[in-house]
Amino acid sequence: MELHQKSLETQQVLDGFFEGTAQNNPLAIAKYIDENVDFYIAESPYMPWTGKKTGKKEVIKALEQLIDAHTIGEDDFEMDHVFIDGNEAAVFGKAGRRVKATGKKFKEPFCMRFSINNGLITKFLMLEDSHQIEKAFKQD
């Protein structure tokens, strides 16, 4: 398959992934996750959905935890740049949310890296400023 076709397929998977994300719908997101996904979000003891997750079931649970911890409808998500090269992609932007438990808001930069094979995300890496986000989870 030529590189251009792979890039188009990668874009379609990203579109579906981010549509499910915008809907705060873990099952819609999971349609794009491989059963044996290698999934990592910069780890924090205040955020149980972070760290290494192995397999689709662990990822769905992590997504449910993430969504449950935040006030729905107050997401502030900006994608600044999307780079696609065949089945590899990188997304840079800023994400903001309000933490249910504290009422505090945060908005921090992120970088996501995706590997996509056969229409599914096989590798997901999210780097964010966990230290700054943790401040929103801490009770004063």
CA count, 13 A, side-chain hemisphere, 3: 5
Residue 3: what pLDDT? Answer: 67
Using alpha carbons, select from 111, 16, 23 the residue that is nearest to residue 63: 23
| Domains defined along the chain, listed by start | 3-137 (3.10.450.50)
- Whole-structure pTM value: 0.91
- Model pLDDT for residues 41-55, shown as the tens digit of each residue: 989 988 999 999 999
